[in-house]
Amino acid sequence: MNDYDRRTFLRRTAAAGIAASTASLSLPSPADAAALSTKTNLDDPLGVRAQFPVTQELAYLNTASQGPMPRPVQEAVTSYAEERMTFRDPSRQQATFERARERFASLFGAERDEVAFLYSTSDAENLVANAIDWKPGDNLVVDELHFVTAFVVFRELERRAGVELRIVPAVDGRARPEDYAARTDARTRLISVAWVSNRNGFRHHLPTLAEIVHARGGYLYADGIQAFGTFPTNLHAEGVDFACGNGYKWLFADFGCAPLYVRRKHLDWMQPDRFGHGQVAETLPDNRYELTRTASKFEYANPSHASIAAMDAALGFVTDVGLDRIARHTHNLAGDLRNELVGLGRNLFTPADNPSSIVSCYHDLDPEVLGSALAREGVRFTFQEDGKLLRIAVGMFNNRDDVDRLLQIIARMV
Ligand SMILES: Cc1ncc(COP(=O)(O)O)c(C=O)c1O
């Protein structure tokens, strides 16, 4: 038993009420091991593991890449496919669409009229960039922890519109509000952030950024793909102007449905960047049309109904589990993970006390050897920065055993 195994055994046995004394620590007896195994198999803090078949085979610590599909979502998609084969209920697609919109709005503190379903998070970044009436000399501010789409879109905008992209550096894994304030001025039209960074899980405090940019007359956009589904929030109270996040990660829906929130006061001036039959509110003579004025003005074509069915079921599921419970459980586990990685001498890229479910560290090991060992043990994770950075994501279905499976492998290699 190495030090890590010993500590893990102690913690587990204490939790299971098995180890009476730590004085003569040795490997667990077969009876204790069986008791431990029973105990840990029952370790399902949110009571959701049965809904996630992936938990039977893998320590799936990769929801920041793709969330595994839970049973209720799979059932909704199957049922959608059956409907497409039989056409028994013609009103169903529209009803599902409207229920999903209502569910998103009520779960995240928005009004239905402020919610549109786009196809991807990247759609929203483009939409916001294209809606603003940029003048040469305007600027926008992002930070190093943002997702690659933002840099692609805004470098292109810089080239086409003569605006300046200002990039806040990450300091100790954080993009600090004071560094945003220092780069924001009267020509700042937009601050765009990954609400929770895909790189290290750093979570922005949106009300602070909203205050900074609104004082200069600009807008705040939050890419919410790593945020939606991981903690309770109210979009009105966050102060954000626009936010969007695809369903295939922490909402446990699928690709192709990305709810967009647009604060009501922006719905009049914001123009869609593409048009089609989906926006028609009223048909006028001479092939003219009155277009919708709510957030549905961004829904220009038929939606991806299978993805909407998945989103609808997923939002119902996440609502039932409870965002407060999800946040408490996953943030605690992520906190333990941070502490224990530090205990194993690893260098964290994620800041201490960060309220998110993502943890990244520089593992300082051979990525090929580490990657193969983790794969052999059925641990799923993501390498970033050419394999130097290990990103771990703790979902609602993960438990202490999943985290231990990863930590034990690292402990044996250091
Ligand atoms: C922060 C962030 N934004 C955007 C995306 C991409 O989302 P989409 O494919 O919906 O554009 C990802 C994907 O990993 C991400 O982590």
Q: What is the pLDDT of residue 150?
A: 98
Residue 373 has pLDDT above 50, yes or no: yes
Per-residue pLDDT tens digits for 191-219: 999 999 999 999 999 999 999 999 999 99
Any ligand 1 atom below 6 A from CB of 359: no
Rounded to an integer, the average pLDDT of 97-122 is 98
Any ligand 1 atom below 6 A from CB of 246: yes
Rounded to an integer, the average pLDDT of 371-397 is 98
Q: What is the pLDDT of residue 17?
A: 38
High-pLDDT (> 90) share of the chain, %:
89
Class of the domain covering 72-321? alpha beta
Any ligand 1 atom below 6 A from CB of 226: yes
Residue 99 has pLDDT above 90, yes or no: yes
Any ligand 1 atom below 6 A from CB of 258: yes
Q: How much is the mean pLDDT over the chain?
A: 92
Pick the CATH number of 3-69+322-413 from 3.90.1150.10, 3.10.450.100, 3.40.1160.10, 3.10.105.10: 3.90.1150.10
Residue 36 has pLDDT above 60, yes or no: no
Ligand 1 centroid, distance to 92 Cα (angstroms): 29
Ligand 1 centroid, distance to 122 Cα (angstroms): 7
Rounded-to-integer distance, Cα 403 and Cα 35, Å: 19
* pTM, rounded to two decimals: 0.91
User: Which residues, 6+ apart, have CB-to-CB distance to 72 below 8 Å?
Assistant: 51, 313, 314, 316, 317
Question: Token pair of 151, please?
Answer: 């840099």
Per-residue pLDDT tens digits for 288-323: 999 999 999 999 999 999 999 999 999 999 999 999
Sign of the alpha-carbon dihedral angle for 113, 117, 122, 126: negative
Asked whether this chain's domains 3-69+322-413 and 72-321 adopt the same fold, the reply is: no
Per-residue pLDDT tens digits for 146-201: 999 999 999 999 999 999 999 999 999 999 999 999 999 999 999 999 999 999 99
Domain range annotation of the chain: 3-69+322-413, 72-321
Rounded-to-integer distance, Cα 153 and Cα 127, Å: 10
Any ligand 1 atom below 6 A from CB of 360: no
Residue 71 has pLDDT above 60, yes or no: yes
Q: Which atom of ligand 1 is nearest to the CA of 197?
A: 1
Rounded to an integer, the average pLDDT of 215-240 is 98
Q: Closest Cα partner for 393 from 361, 367, 364?
A: 361
Looking up tokens 């309220």, which residue turns up? 355
Q: What is the pLDDT of residue 21?
A: 31
Query: What φ, ψ does residue 320 adopt, rounded to 5°?
Result: -65, -40
Strands (E), 121-178: 139-143, 164-168
Any ligand 1 atom below 6 A from CB of 194: yes
Rounded to an integer, the average pLDDT of 274-284 is 98
Ligand 1 centroid, distance to 342 Cα (angstroms): 28
